Amino acid sequence: MERGGRITGVVTDEGEIEGDAVVSTAALPALAPLLPECASAYREALESIEFLGVLCLLVRLKEHVTPSFWVNLNDPRAPFNGMIEYSNLNPWREQGGSEVLYIPLYMRTDDPRFLRRDSETAEELLGGLEAIFPACDRSQVVEVGVDARLLCPGAVPAAVQREGPQPRGSRAGAIPHGLHAALPGGPEP
């Protein structure tokens, strides 16, 4: 919904919700087509952003790999630069004592790895994990999954700072009036 050149509400299946401003937590690729005409310049700016992709290996293990929640890596034997052992921060009792680990792999969405089969991704990342942590061999793996998604943070702060048409009522490099978002490293609304 818009009034006086500002976004003042949203339309849902249940009806309209009006307010003084709209705060969106939607991923920017999902938000862009929802924006009304008054935010067309902002919509075009969002549509011009090349978003990163993330492949994420999700693994249930019998044992911890490390005692840490987050481990950054810089080892040529691993095709990834970090891993998160979620159960070291939040023990997940419902998993029957197994440990939850995920390994994110950030890349452009036109990278061939982004489109390959999940089994190929799992094999590559598990191989790297085992190369660095030999005790974490395949016998430790209870379950594996791979998820691929678009990732907004990282691409956004540079994009909102570029020069170009700005929606009316906004300052250069800022998010337009009436549509505010909190972005890590991004401009203040």
Which pLDDT does position 101 carry in this prediction? 92
| Residue 161: closest CA among 43, 5, 45 | 45
List, in order, residues 6 or more apart from 124 with CB less than 8 Å away.
79
Residue-wise pLDDT for 36-68, tens only, equals 888 888 888 888 877 778 888 999 999 999 999
pLDDT digits (tens, 9 = 90+) for 88-133: 888 766 656 788 899 998 887 788 888 889 999 999 999 999 999 9
Quickly state the pLDDT bin for 160 (edges 50, 70, 90): very low
Residue 82, strand partner residues: 72
- Total Cβ atoms within 10 A of residue 105: 22
Taking all residues of the chain, what is their mean pLDDT, rounded to a whole number?
Answer: 76
b/e string for 24-63 if b means 16 or more Cβ within 10 A?
beeebeebbeebbebbebbbebbeebebbbbbbbebbbee
* Domain annotation for the chain: domains and CATH numbers: 2-50+153-180 (no CATH), 52-151 (3.90.660.10)
pLDDT digits (tens, 9 = 90+) for 179-189: 223 323 333 33
pLDDT in the model for residue 136: 92
pLDDT (tens digit, 9 = 90+) per residue, 24-39? 888 777 888 888 888 8
Length of the chain: 189
Q: What CA–CA distance (Å, rounded) separates 15 from 34?
A: 16
Query: 13-17, 19-23, 106-110: which has the minimum mean pLDDT?
Result: 106-110
Task: Write down the pTM of the prediction.
Answer: 0.60
Of the candidate ranges 54-58, 149-153, 156-160, the one whose mean pLDDT is the lowest: 156-160
